Amino acid sequence: MRRPYLVLAICCMSLFIVGLDATIMNIALPALREDLGASISGLQWTIDAYTLVLASLLVLSGSTADRIGRRRIFQTGLVLFSAGSLLCSVAPSLGWLIAFRAVQAIGGSMLNPVAMSIITNTFTDPRERARAIGVWGGVVGFSMAVGPLLGGFLVDTLGWRSIFWINVPVGIAAVVLAAKFIPESRAPHPRRLDPVGQVLVFLVLAGVTYGIIEGPTAGWSSPRIIGCFLVGAAALAALLAYEPRQAEPLLQLRFFRSVPFSGATLIAVCAFASLAGFLFLNSIYLQEVRGLTPLHAGLWTLPMAAMTVIFAPISGRLVGSRGTRLPLTLAGLGFIAGLLPLTRLTADTPVWQLMACYVLFGFGFAMVNSPITNTAVSGMPREQAGVAAAIASTSRQVGGALGVAVIGAAVAAKSTGFAEASRTGWWIMTGLGAAVLVLGLVTTGRWARSTTERAAVPTDEPVTARMAR
C-alpha cells in the first residue's frame, strides 16, 4: 500500500472510534436510563457533555497541532480518548459518567480535525484529496453500521459499560501505527495561543446548551436559565469584538467572508443537529415504544448506516468531478424525504415505512459530509489547514450538541406518550433538512465561489499590529 493511503487508513481509525462511540452511546441510552435512573435531561447530558467539550476545544487543538506538531497532538488525543473510555466503563454514577465523557472529549478534540489536516497535507492533488475525503466520509457510515450492531450485542450480553471497551485496542493500535507511518508536520508560521478567545467560545456554547437542556425542568423564566442565555449572548458579543483585534486569533473570522465556507458551516450545524436528534429519538423510540432489544434496535437502523457506507465515497467522487452543488442538493432532498413521514410517528407505524425513512435519511447524510469538509479546506492556505478543518469540525459538534439539546427539550416539554411527543422533534429535523437544501443551492453559485479567494488572504491589518507599530 502506498504510504499516503497508509496515513489515510490510520487517520480513519481515529474517525472510526469517534463515530462508533456516538452510535454505541445512543443505542445504550435506554439501558443507561434504567441502570442509573437518568431523566431525559440526564440522557441529554451524557451526549452533550461530550459534544460541548469537543466543540469548545476543536479549534484550539487544530491550531496547536499546526504549531507544535500534528502527529504529536494526534497521538496524545488517541491516548486521552482511550483512557477516557476506560474511565466511562467504570463510572459509579451518572455524574461521574458525564465527567468521564468530558475526558473522552478532550482526547476526541485532538483527533478528527488534526487527522483531516494530516490528510490535507498528505494529498496535495485536489482530485485525490476529494477522493480521500470521500473515503473518510465512508468511515462515518461504517462506524454507524457497526456501532448499533456491536453496541446492541454488547449491551444485551455484557451491559452498557462494555460499549466503551472497544475504543481501547483500536486507539492503542492507531498510536503505534502513527508513530511508524505518519510523518510529523507543522505550519511554517506557528500561531500563538488565544486563551481569552478559548474561554469565550466555551462560555457561548456552555451557556446556550445548559439553558436549552435544563429549561424544561427549571422553567424558561427562571433566573438560572435566563442567566445562562445572557452569559452566552454576552460571551458571543465579546468574542466578535475581541477576535478581530488579535494578530493571531483563535477563530479566523475572515474565513467567513467566503460564502461557501460560511454556507458549509451552517449546513454542518443543520445536518449534524438533524443526525444527533435522529439518533437520540430513534433509539429511545425503538426500545421504549416498540419494545425492541438493543440488538434488534441496531439491526433495524442498519439500512440507514448501509446507505452511508455506500454513498459517502460516491459523494466524495461527485465533489471531485462536479463540485459541491449536486451532492448538497441530493443531501437536502434525502433529509426531507426521510424525515417528513416521521412527523406522524406512532407506536404502530409500519415497519416498511420506518425502513424507507431510514434509507432516505442515510442517503442524505452520506451526501452531505464530503462537501462540507472539502469546502472547509479548499481555497484556504495549506499552512492553516488545521484551523479551517477544525472550524468545520466545530460546526458539526455544535450542531450535534444543539440538536440533542433543542430536540430533547421539545420532547421533554410534552406530556403525551413518547411517540406523539417526538413529532415536534421530527418537524424540527425536517426544517433543518430544508435548510440544508436551500443553503446548498444558495452558497454554491459562481458569485459565492468568487468570495473564497478573498477570504483566504487577510485584507485588514489587525488592530494589535497597528498598535505595535
- pLDDT band (50, 70, 90) for residue 457: low
Please give the full DSSP string across 103-150, using - where no structure is assigned.
HHHHHHTTTHHHHHHHHHHH--SHHHHHHHHHHHHHHHHHHHHHHHHH
pLDDT digits over 215-253, tens only? 877 788 889 899 999 999 999 999 889 888 887 777 777
Alpha helices in 384-422 (DSSP H): 385-412, 418-421
430-448 mean pLDDT: 87
Over residues 32-61, the mean pLDDT reads 83
pLDDT at 141: 62
Say yes or no to pLDDT of 465 above 70.
no
pLDDT in tens, 67-118: 888 889 999 999 999 999 999 999 999 999 999 999 998 998 888 778 877 8
Amino acid, res. 172: I
CB–CB of 52/206 below 8 Å?
A: yes
Q: What percent of the chain has pLDDT over 90?
A: 23
Q: Which of 114, 96, 11, 9 is nearest to 54 (CA)?
A: 114
pLDDT value of position 428 = 94
Nearest Cα neighbor of 270 from 139, 203, 368 is 368
End-to-end CA distance of the chain: 52
pLDDT at 463: 41
Confidence of residue 384 (pLDDT cuts 50, 70, 90): low
- C-alpha cell, 277: 436528534
Kindly tell me if the per-residue pLDDT of 446 is higher than 80: no
Cell readout for 396 is 458539526
Higher per-residue confidence, 344 vs 246: 344
**For position 467, what pLDDT does the model report?**
38
Residue 425: HSE in the Cβ half-sphere, 13 Å Cα cutoff:
31
